[in-house]
Amino acid sequence: MGETKRIKWNIELVKEKCKEIGIKFLDEQYTTNRHKYNFKCKCGEIFSRQWGVLIRNKCYYCIKCLGISQYTTESVKKNMQY
């Protein structure tokens, strides 16, 4: 049957994959794919994300570059005013 090869990530592989994607891994060490790490996006924005989420969901960039709006209390209030 089709076996999926799991990658045993380490800091060297993470940095290599980040370079391939076009982002930069900013932390000094890698421990697990469930830990949140800091990255520098292709646009220069710094963002944090779990390594597993970044790889599995292909969420390689900051929310601005991904086109995801981040609501603030002020923006919600402004949009709710009639």
- Report whether pLDDT(1) > 70: no
Q: What is the pLDDT of residue 6?
A: 86
- Asked, for residue 1, whether it belongs to a domain, the answer is no
- Asked, for residue 61, whether it belongs to a domain, the answer is yes
- Count of domains in the chain? 1
- Report whether pLDDT(70) > 70: no
Q: Which domain holds residue 46?
A: 11-80
- Asked, for residue 5, whether it belongs to a domain, the answer is no
- Report whether pLDDT(69) > 80: no
**Angstrom distance (rounded) from CA 52 to CA 44:** 22
Q: Is 25 within 8 Å of 39 (Cβ atoms)?
A: yes
pTM listed for this prediction = 0.77
**Angstrom distance (rounded) from CA 41 to CA 23:** 5
**Tokens 């993470």, located at residue:** 14
Nearest to 14 by CA among 50, 67, 43: 50
